[in-house]
Amino acid sequence: MMRPFAGPWRTLTALLAVAGPARLAVAYDLDPNSTESVTSIAKNMADDLLSFYKGDEPGQTPGLPPDPYFWWMGGAMMGALVEYWYYTKDDSYVETTKRGLLFQVGKYDDYMPDNQTLTEGNDDQGFWAAAVMSAAEYNFPEGRDDQPSWLGLAQAVFNTQAARWDDAHCGGGLRWQIYNWNKGWDYKNSISQGTFFSLAARLALYTGNDTYADWATKTWDWMIDLEFIDKWWYVYDGAHIPNNCTEIVPWQFTYNSGAFILGAAAMYNYTESDEWKGRLDGLLEGAKVFFRGPNNDIMQEVACEPVDRCNVDQKSFKAYLARWMAATIQWYPDSYDRLSPLLRASAVAAAAQCTGGANKRMCGSKWSTQKNDGSEGIGQQMSAMEITLSCMITKRDPILTSDTGGTSEGDPGAGGSEIGRSRNGEPPKKDYPPMTAGQRAGAAILTTIVIGLLLLGIFWLWLDETSDKGPLDQIRGLPSSAAAAAAMVPIAGAASSSRESQFMSEKGPGVQTAAEAGTTPVEEPVPGVAAPAEVKRSSVARHSRRASNMPLGWPHNPSIRWSVAEPGHSGQSSSRESTRGTDDDEIRPAAPAH
Ligand SMILES: *[C@@H]1O[C@H](CO)[C@@H](O)[C@H](O)[C@H]1NC(C)=O
Ligand SMILES: *[C@@H]1O[C@H](CO)[C@@H](O)[C@H](O)[C@H]1NC(C)=O
Ligand SMILES: *[C@@H]1O[C@H](CO)[C@@H](O)[C@H](O)[C@H]1NC(C)=O
Ligand SMILES: *[C@@H]1O[C@H](CO)[C@@H](O)[C@H](O)[C@H]1NC(C)=O
Ligand SMILES: *[C@@H]1O[C@H](CO)[C@@H](O)[C@H](O)[C@H]1NC(C)=O
């Protein structure tokens, strides 16, 4: 209930700030070539990141981020701190990181803690696994002897997820959710496949065990078969089971692209095959869609950032593309000339806008606009820190494997006794005995209260803070605006069938299409570029609070519009993008209806 009131407060704070010494704020002037500059700025960014974290305080839970963040963000943040240590060797946060990573393992040491069964998805578990996998690859200090090893934890997550591979629907893939009582159980999303794929690929590289590589290949093939990765190497968000995953939710997010880049880089390094090189080159080409600004070299969350629609999860995604592109330079050194300019330009831009907050150095979420957008949070801080660190990637130690000095001890059967506990949607009965009548009545009352609060919340969210009409006047206006929004749904749905014709690609010379490298038939590539979403401001789905890291407005956000760049004009500025997309035939589909 706090959020609706944040607007006026922020305005007030902003006004006070303008009146005060705010204009004296000095932005970070990052020199990406200087280790000293990178480490000192990253140190400040890390300190400011930790200012959001309370997990070490008395009575708090290690590893758990504060409201409004979900559990997975704790894993993402611990991962960022592992990166911070790898790049800087500053051990200020090593104990905090270890404590967080080891506290959340759950009773089977596989990142399925009981407290999270109402929200945990495969992707969420996957972000914790990504963090411990990095810890293994960097020889990050291990926990006590009686605690699980980094590698063992990563293997445990792999084992539980491989056991959940769901051939019964859409020909394979992981569901988004682990537990069938959670919203999103019927969704198969790219990030769940992406975290599993990259984990499998990294385990193959680290351990030399081909079983992991086979799972990575299987996941890749499924993504290509279903065209979750299309022939232009764009990675879309996912699709729903009821229509056999045929209606693809067309959002492109940096983390989806990043997760597949990471896995493909590990597979390339492991196999040294032209096949994986071609796939990796293609994905890197596809990821150019996320680099905008005057020189198309500043990372942007194109689906939501230009129109101020990114939620707290999405504001962290750039951290992972930065982290995983940097790892790609390690595993595929030939990509340096292509990736380094993008990472460096983005880092300079990211650092330059860290002028927010009381200390005048908090990072906002928009790098390509040259000014702080007034937002701050774990995601913003993590993203700016990781892109800054990435400038030093070639000066860091190689990523280790068990053959090159990695010492984390494996446990190939980890999580073993529990591999099947959620298989095919069976809830973990052992942990959850049937409810008694009393519990059920209690649950019903609780549900009623929750729904009541939710409706109240929706009402407040719907109220337009900026409107000068009072609440009652706004209620009177509701039927007409709701009807208008509903009317747009079929239009958006109809537009989805012509996705291909609108969704054009800028395909550089010498890059194989996904179809060429994979098994699907070759089709002619289309010139052009997929342009970011244009969202018409509306009260629908504002401030929406989601159960996990799904696209904003999911499953329907009828107000999302997409614009299409003319071929050869992919370098349009974000200000231009946000004024485009006003024709109805340019509406990009929202997610299909259930
Ligand atoms: C960093 O080094 C590169 C290559 O050595 C050079 O082209 C670039 O101008 C340098 N950047 C800065 C900010 O000094
Ligand atoms: C689970 O929640 C309880 C109650 O808040 C807390 O005491 C405990 O530390 C939590 N465990 C984990 C692993 O988060
Ligand atoms: C569902 O999709 C999968 C994967 O594309 C395919 O193999 C399967 O035949 C489809 N099933 C139906 C009933 O269309
Ligand atoms: C694989 O990664 C290692 C370590 O980062 C690197 O030295 C090697 O050149 C990479 N192999 C290929 C084929 O790029
Ligand atoms: C390779 O990994 C698989 C899957 O975890 C495991 O069953 C197998 O025992 C491993 N093989 C070796 C030689 O460690």
The predicted pLDDT at position 26 comes to: 74
- How far is 566 from 552, CA to CA, in rounded Å? 27
Is there an atom of ligand 4 within 6 Å of 505 CB?
Answer: no
Q: Which atom of ligand 4 is nearest to the CA of 330?
A: 5
Q: Which atom of ligand 3 is nearest to the CA of 226?
A: 5
Q: Whose C-alpha lies nearest to ligand 4, atom 6?
A: 331
Domains of the chain, CATH where assigned? 3-395 (1.50.10.20)
Instruction: Measure Cα distances from 162 to 5, 124, 157, 165 in Å.
Output: 44, 15, 9, 5
Are 358 and 423 in contact by the 8 Å Cβ rule? The answer is no
Q: Which atom of ligand 4 is nearest to the CA of 399?
A: 5
Element (H, E) at 222: helix 210-225
Are 84 and 140 in contact by the 8 Å Cβ rule? The answer is no
The predicted pLDDT at position 96 comes to: 98
The phi, psi pair for 343, rounded to 5°, reads -65, -40
- How far is 391 from 188, CA to CA, in rounded Å? 34
- How far is 111 from 142, CA to CA, in rounded Å? 17
- How far is 120 from 299, CA to CA, in rounded Å? 28
The phi, psi pair for 362, rounded to 5°, reads -75, 145
Q: Whose C-alpha lies nearest to ligand 5, atom 7?
A: 412
Task: Report which residue type is found at 555.
Answer: P
- How far is 560 from 323, CA to CA, in rounded Å? 29
Q: Whose C-alpha lies nearest to ligand 1, atom 2?
A: 33
Ligand 3 centroid vs 170 CA: distance in angstroms?
A: 5
Q: Which atom of ligand 5 is nearest to the CA of 203?
A: 2
Q: Whose C-alpha lies nearest to ligand 3, atom 14?
A: 244
What would the two tokens of residue 377 be? Answer: 């949070």
Helix (H, G, I), strand (E, B) or coil at 328: helix
Is there an atom of ligand 3 within 6 Å of 168 CB?
Answer: no
The predicted pLDDT at position 424 comes to: 44
Ligand 1 pocket residues where CB is under 6 Å: 31-33
The predicted pLDDT at position 25 comes to: 58
- How far is 72 from 384, CA to CA, in rounded Å? 19
The predicted pLDDT at position 13 comes to: 46
Per-10-residue mean pLDDT of the chain, 594 residues long, equals 37 44 69 98 98 97 97 98 98 98 96 92 98 98 97 97 96 94 94 98 98 98 98 98 97 98 98 98 98 97 96 98 98 98 98 97 96 97 98 96 96 67 44 42 51 49 42 40 32 28 27 37 28 28 33 35 28 26 27 29
Closest CA to 460 of 84, 8, 89: 8
Model confidence, pTM: 0.75
| Strand residue runs (E) in 347-464 | none
Q: Which atom of ligand 2 is nearest to the CA of 103?
A: 13
Q: Whose C-alpha lies nearest to ligand 1, atom 13?
A: 31
Closest CA to 117 of 433, 431, 556: 431
Ligand 3 centroid vs 591 CA: distance in angstroms?
A: 20
Q: Which atom of ligand 5 is nearest to the CA of 413?
A: 5
Ligand 4 centroid vs 329 CA: distance in angstroms?
A: 9
Helix (H, G, I), strand (E, B) or coil at 303: coil
Closest CA to 166 of 417, 429, 418, 425: 425
Which ligand is the nearest neighbour of the Cα of 159?
A: 5
Per residue, the 3-state secondary structure of 141-195, as one string, reads CCCCCCCCCHHHHHHHHHHHHHHHCCCCCCCCCCCCECCCCCCCCCEEEHHHHHH
Ligand 1 centroid vs 297 CA: distance in angstroms?
A: 15
Q: Which atom of ligand 1 is nearest to the CA of 33?
A: 1
Q: Whose C-alpha lies nearest to ligand 1, atom 1?
A: 33
How far from the centroid of its chain's Cα atoms is residue 362's Cα?
Answer: 21
The predicted pLDDT at position 454 comes to: 52
The predicted pLDDT at position 446 comes to: 52
The predicted pLDDT at position 415 comes to: 79
Task: Find the farthest-apart pair of alpha carbons in the chain and give their distance in angstroms, rounded.
Answer: 69
Instruction: Report the relative pairing of strands 187-189 and 238-240 from DSSP bridges.
Output: antiparallel
Ligand 3 centroid vs 25 CA: distance in angstroms?
A: 57
Is there an atom of ligand 4 within 6 Å of 399 CB?
Answer: yes
Helix ranges restricted to H, 497-592: 499-502, 514-517, 574-577
